[in-house]
Amino acid sequence: MSDNVLNNFRECYELLSNVYDQVNGEDFYRYIFPDNENSGELSSDFSHPNAIYLYHDEQDEGAKRRLRRRIMLNDTWASDYMDYVEGNGMTLCSGLTYHSRSNKLQYAQTMNALIFDLDGVGRSELEHVLERTTGSGDVYRSIPKPTFIVLSGRGLHLYYVFDEPIALYPNIKLQLKSLKHDLTFRIWEYKGTSQVESIQYQSIGQGFRMVGSTNSKYGNTVTAFKIGGKVSLDFLNSYAIKPENRVDVNRPYRPSKIDRATAAELYPEWYQKVVVEGNKRPNKWNIGYRKKKQVKDYALYEWWKRRVTEIEGGHRYFYLMCLVIYACKCDVPKKQLKVDIQACFEVLRAYKHNNELTQDDVDSAMECYSKDYYNFTIADIEILTDVRIERNKRNYQKQEWHLEDIRSKKANMKRRGQPFRNAEGRPSKQQIVLEWQQLHPMGRKVDCIRDTGLSKPTVLKWWRKEFEA
């Protein structure tokens, strides 16, 4: 552990231990998850969803398997905690319960605790956090009082344990994501509650180092303190900066207003896929092929690879995770992805940051190579990586409708004798390169690639030496 991190941890521990009660890991998770099943029990009515945690097993040293998954069962938890969590160098657990043996978000049934990560915290920052928990939601920069504060190593984990677990209907998951983003912005203030300038947003299913385990990066024991009681959803809602980010459990669904017969007529492809075939998985974005030639096109994936130099220290892991997601979107083979992500890792690890980027982060990012991430939204990628992504301007229409409007407008202007900008359509790649060279006689190929966004082979193909100075 670096001297600065070590001093921060010691000072925060001293401050909290003088005021609040320390809680051991076994009791900590029993408090959050009181209704786990017993071993051998299987509730067919899903009345007892279980917490699931990940842990490192020494038997897997040198193997491809990174972490093992285990269900947190009520009657075996005391011995399981000692065997798999206490003193372990890598354990992770979220605040969710699951109705399956897998901890994927699609199988999440309830949220028992909403958890926030606050990085770069010393005594001064912790004092600000505690001071701000005394104000109500309408007080500027106030923070809702957490149930627990956990010292993780470099910072804090704030646990808000609900008095009643929140049922995770699909639309409620989206609302909770918005609430968490809103409250993260409120909690994380550079030079106020954190020594880190860049805010780091995380999903509602994010796993956190478990209380009683050891932080393998810094060598400290992850330690919890009881700060307050369980909280209500209304309490957290009252701290949301934007009213639209509050969670309304009375609207778990957005019911359709049309009947099945009408749906079958209006949306025949959807009706065949979802109703007839029972396939409810969202359609994958069709961006992995050029429509005319039907050949592989990794342009979007390659574009994201080139943005590696724009990533700030605190967003390095999420950049790698989104690289994997773009690989899923574009059907990039896993073999190629492994080579590319390793190259990006070598670039990112050279960036100066208090939190070292490790091979474990690469392995964790690779776990996102899944169909579940086909339709990961641009807005989520922007939040996680702090990179602005320009949209194609279609005035919120489908592409075919947008093009139909453009063609109609072009025909009308031609009939009236009015000039139409870009009458021949968008400029060709050759034209883009030549115009750039004319405007930048001293320019280099690498500058053209960066400014135009064209690929290296395209620029080399149309580069004209006679335009060079």
Contacts of 55 (CB under 8 A, 6+ apart): 67, 68, 70, 84, 85, 88, 90, 91, 92
Domain count, the chain: 3
- On whether the CB atoms of residues 78 and 26 are closer than 8 A, the answer is yes
In a domain, 258, yes or no: no
Residues 199, 130 contacting (CB under 8 angstroms): no
Q: Do 188 and 131 reside in the same domain of the chain? A: yes
Residue 371 lies in a domain: yes
- Residues 316 and 438 placed together within one structural domain of the fold: no
174, 323: one domain: no
Q: Which amino acid is at 155?
A: G
CB atoms closer than 10 angstroms to residue 313:
15
Alpha-carbon span 161 to 159, nearest angstrom: 6
Write down which residue in 218, 245, 272 finishes a domain.
245
- 320 and 197 share a domain? no
What per-residue confidence (pLDDT) applies to 173? Answer: 87
In a domain? residue 356: yes
304/183 same-domain check: no
222 and 322 in a single domain? The answer is no
Same domain for 93 and 17: yes
Tell whether 145 is covered by a domain.
yes
- Kindly state whether residue 310 falls inside one of the protein's structural domains: yes
Is the Cβ–Cβ distance between 197 and 190 less than 8 Å?
yes
Could you tell me if residue 270 is inside a domain? no
**Same domain membership, residue 219 and residue 343:** no
Q: In this structure, are 312 and 450 located in the same domain?
A: no
Final residue of a domain: which of 245, 264, 288? Answer: 245
CB 78 within 8 A of CB 85: no
Q: Are 329 and 287 in contact (CB under 8 A)?
A: yes
Let me know: does 29 contact 212? Beta carbons within 8 Å. Answer: no
> What DSSP assignment string belongs to 394-458?
-TT--HHHHHHHHHHHHHHHHHHT---TTTT-SPPHHHHHHHHHHH-TT--HHHHHHHH---HHH
Element (H, E) at 187: helix 170-187
Regarding whether 16 and 139 lie in a shared domain, the answer is yes
What is the structure's pLDDT at 218? Answer: 84
Q: Residues 119, 216: one domain?
A: yes
Residue 434 neighbours by CB under 8 Å, 6+ apart:
462, 464, 467
129 Cβ contact list (under 8 Å, min separation 6): 118, 121, 143, 149, 156, 158, 187, 193
Task: Check whether residue 138 and residue 218 sit in a common domain.
Answer: yes
Q: How many CA atoms lie within 13 A of 251 on its CB side?
A: 9
Domain endpoint, select from 245, 280, 309: 245
**What are the DSSP E strand ranges found in 189-244?**
208-209, 223-226
DSSP string across 171-184: HHHHHHHHHHHHHH
Distance CA 143, CA 442 (A): 54
The answer to whether 413 and 407 are in contact (CB under 8 A) is: no
Contact 263/271 with Cβ under 8 angstroms? Answer: yes
Q: Provide the residue-wise pLDDT of the chain in tens; the chain has 469 residues.
A: 467 888 899 999 999 999 999 999 999 999 999 999 998 887 666 778 999 999 998 887 767 677 899 999 999 999 999 999 999 999 999 999 998 888 888 889 999 999 999 999 999 999 999 999 998 989 988 999 999 999 998 899 999 999 999 999 888 888 998 899 999 999 999 889 999 887 888 889 889 999 999 988 888 999 999 999 999 999 999 999 988 889 998 876 666 667 788 877 777 777 787 788 877 665 555 454 444 444 455 778 888 898 888 887 778 888 898 898 888 888 889 999 999 999 999 988 887 776 778 887 888 788 777 766 666 777 777 777 777 776 555 555 555 665 666 667 767 776 776 665 555 555 678 878 887 777 777 778 888 888 888 888 888 888 876 655 4
406 domain-assigned: no
Let me know if residue 231 belongs to a domain: yes
Residue 117: give the domain boundaries: 3-245
Distance CA 84, CA 465 (A): 65
